[in-house]
Chain A
Amino acid sequence: MTSYLRYLAGRALLWLVTIFVAVTVVFVVPRLVPGDPMDAMLSRLAAAGASLNAPQLIAQYRELFGLDRSIGEQYVSFLRELARGNFGYSINNFPSKVTDIVTPAIPWTIGLLSVTTIFSWTLGSLIGAVVGWRGGKSKFFQALVPIALVLYTTPYYILALILIFLFAFTWRIFPLSMAFSVGARPELTLKFALDVLHHAALPALSIILVSLGWWFLSMRSLITTQKGEDYILLAEAKGLPERHILWRYAFRNALLPQATGLALSLGHIVGGALITEVIFAYQGLGWVIYSAIKSLDFPVIQGSVLLLILAVTTTNFMIDLAYPLIDPRIRQAGGE
């Protein structure tokens, strides 16, 4: 048990360090851009013709983030405010805080991403295992590989555009955009739930199809490698049923690298899904970022970025926590 604890401690430390470094990058980057970030932002806003109560905003912002103080002091107060959950004020909707704008978007992004990722990872791994095991024997199975290759190399948002064209424009089966119908109020009724599902279908499908291709290809090649191993030969020689060998032997061994793959591509998945949200005007974090970019609202962009960093690193940490469940070697020996 102590080795498991040591594994946990190591992972937790890496998790914290990752957040710390990423947050530091977010702090440093705007300050590397020449000029006062606040002034630059406001003058750009003024150029864009926006009306705002600038002096009050500047005063508030400077006081909160101490922009007139030294870099070191600024950094400390930046970290302190973040730890308190204060991401600053939105420039465009001044009295409201960044958190007020970002928080309502989080459930939509997490809902869309978690359901699609878990679904495609599971389905892709299962199909990949079967095809990897019986690969050479069936024409149909062999035809799946190039299809998966094309899907995998297509970015989510490209597939999203094609799906919109086919299923929302040509055949009007699904809505073009938004997370629920205009005028509908978020409430816990069957009608609203169905409306949400109807709107989520296309964004979800575009994410599922693309990632399915990758999980399929990766599991297929993992199983193919396992097939040649000695322990499989032994199991076959013992006369174990084929189904047993595939699912209890080969599949279990391939599951660990497949889970590592999930952890490694999480950032990639999140990045792609953000843009898919933009294409569908789906009101998650991606859409918030897009709107903030349109309205030059830097604090909102920065807040969303920080939240995404927290979310991705924390999910990665949670996958790390699940490893020992899959791999007894980590439970017993403490892993790498």
Chain B
Amino acid sequence: MLLQNRKFMLGISVILLLVLLGLVGTLLTSPAMRRTGAYPVSLPPGQGTPLGTDSLGRSIAIQLSEAILKSLQVGLLAATLGTFFGALLGFASGYFGKLVDAVLRVLIDVFLSVPSLVFLILIASLVRGVGVQAIALIIGMFAWASPARQSRAQVLSLKERTFVKLSRLSGQSGLEIVFLELMPNMFQWLGANFVNAFLAAVLAEAGLSLLGLGPQKEMTLGMMIYWALSYGAILQNLWWWWLLPVLTLMCLFLSLYLIHLGLDEVSNPRLAAQA
């Protein structure tokens, strides 16, 4: 089913291609090649290096390959955390109801309506200079609200189905029902949520980086744009320095969104019929 969906396949192919480029660029280069001044400064693409160099004499191709992998790493870690805890809270809220539900619902509403970027700015400005993984953890901490709201709604509708009632009658505990009966019914749908969270996390990391709160010692797509702008790449007309990470980021977002649409169509056939 999924493999026949054109949107999904197109999106996943682009992501895999990016990962491949990232791996090739990172594995085939030595630390000496990544150093500042390893190449002549401000070379346009094709003259000695495939994608040119920046004004500090670093290869854009090598930076870009590291940045792709690091940005994807942020997305993966943050989205896993956010989806997992979001689903957990959503299940708890929808399944247990009453006071748990009331409290969690308000919390979910709060974190949905307040832009999580403001909390991220607050935390990141306190713990400055942390690496990619810490940034991903911080982003993940604020990525649970949307998956939580959706899994709550999903549980509320599943809860009344006969197979859940049957397992309750046969004496399964609340947790058993959540993990053994409800979870398996939601995997595909959680996938779409995961992709959403992934997209949001990469976006948040790029945003934080542009504000100067990114991982200063590592290269992500956001940090690459940040450095390019800090050194005036646009005004010096070094278009390859800023435009390439920008285009890569756009490709990444577009393919993640296509994957999301594909997953949606497969788990909800009515959408596919509409399109």
Residue positions of A touching B, CB distance < 8 A: 14, 17-18, 21-22, 25-26, 29-30, 33, 37, 40, 44, 149-150, 152-155, 157-158, 161-162, 164-165, 169, 176, 221, 224-225, 263-264, 266-268, 270-272, 274-275, 278-279, 289-290, 292-294, 298, 301-302, 305, 308-309, 312-313, 316
Contacts and interface: CB of A to CB of B under 8 A. Distances in A.
B234 interface: yes
A267 B116 CA distance: 8
10 contacts: A18-B109, A21-B107, A22-B114, A25-B119, A150-B254, A270-B115, A274-B207, A293-B125, A293-B212, A313-B114
Contact of B126 (A29, A267, A270): A29
B99 interface: no
A267 B113 contact: yes
A25 B127 CA distance: 16
Interface residues of B, number: 42
Contacts of A22: 110, 114
Contacts of B242: 161
Given A149-B254, A153-B250, A158-B249, A309 B106 contact: no
Interface of B: 106-107, 109-110, 112-119, 121-123, 125-128, 203, 206-207, 210-213, 225, 229, 234-235, 237, 239, 242-243, 246, 249-250, 253-254, 256-257, 274
A319 to B, nearest CB: 10
A155 B114 CA distance: 19
Contact of A224 (B113, B213, B239, B274): B274
A210 to B, nearest CB: 11
A274 B210 CA distance: 10
Contacts of A313: 113-114
A33 B130 CA distance: 13
Contacts of A271: 115-118, 207
Contacts of B114: 18, 22, 267, 309, 312-313
A161 B246 contact: yes
B210 A278 contact: yes
A266 B246 CA distance: 24
B210 A157 contact: yes
Given A17-B106, A33-B126, A153 B253 contact: yes
